[in-house]
Amino acid sequence: MPSLDTLLAFLGISVLVTLAPGPDNLMVIGQSLAHGRRAGLAFGLGCAAGCLTHIAWATLGIAALVRASTGLFMAIKLAGAAYLVYVGVSMLRAGPPQACSAALPSAPLRTVIAQGFLTNVLNPKVALFFLAFVPQFIAPDAPDKALAFILLGCIFNLGGIIWCHLLVFTTVYASHRVRLSQRLGRWLNRGIGTLFVGLGIKLAS
């Protein structure tokens, strides 16, 4: 198993990676603003499930297969890009976010969870990140590399879940303290939607 020094180094870098702006973080904020705490947490749960899927793929060597197969990588990459564009266009067409104090998700929570899962699992760069990042903290002579990989991957995912909760509660608290006007809320929705369309186009390039 990884040494204490290795675990501390892994935790430090994982925190920096988790704090970096990305599709998952932005969508958690967007869901929390538009539909409240339950929707934000549900989306974050879906992202965590997608992250666990990537950990499993990487552990089983599927991520290596994706990296070796240009066609398979492009297929997953384009599917993820198309989904991000779809989410962005949906946000552009939606109305302004409502107040979060009594708002419920416009879709069932299981649908929001599925959206979070798809946003994460359809991004092959996440799987390749795990394949490239986690092994750096596993000793070449480790007796059980797969178990060490799973442990480090789950630690990373746990950090992401904690950060997601902080994002949700901070966003909802801020929305209660600073009431958004209808016009500002509409432009906020459009801004986030445009950002996701751009992310999808960039991912496909």
Residue 178 sits at φ, ψ, to 5 deg, of -120, 100
Q: Which residue has the tokens 């925190």?
A: 15
Choice among 19-23, 111-115, 181-185 with the minimum mean pLDDT: 181-185
Q: What is the pLDDT of residues 69-114, one digit of tens each?
A: 777 767 766 776 787 787 778 767 765 544 433 343 456 888 889 9
Residue 64 sits at φ, ψ, to 5 deg, of -65, -40
Q: Would you state the pLDDT for residue 117?
A: 93
Instruction: With cut-offs at 50, 70 and 90, classify the pLDDT of residue 204.
Output: low
> What is the value of pTM for the model shown?
0.71
Cα angle for residues 134, 136, 142 (degrees, 5° grid): 90
DSSP 134: G
- Contact present, 96 and 185 (Cβ < 8 Å): yes
Residues 6 or more apart in contact with residue 201 via CB below 8 angstroms = 81, 85
Q: What is the pLDDT of residues 153-173, one digit of tens each?
A: 999 999 999 999 999 999 888
- Contact present, 24 and 47 (Cβ < 8 Å): yes
Q: Would you state the pLDDT for residue 1?
A: 64
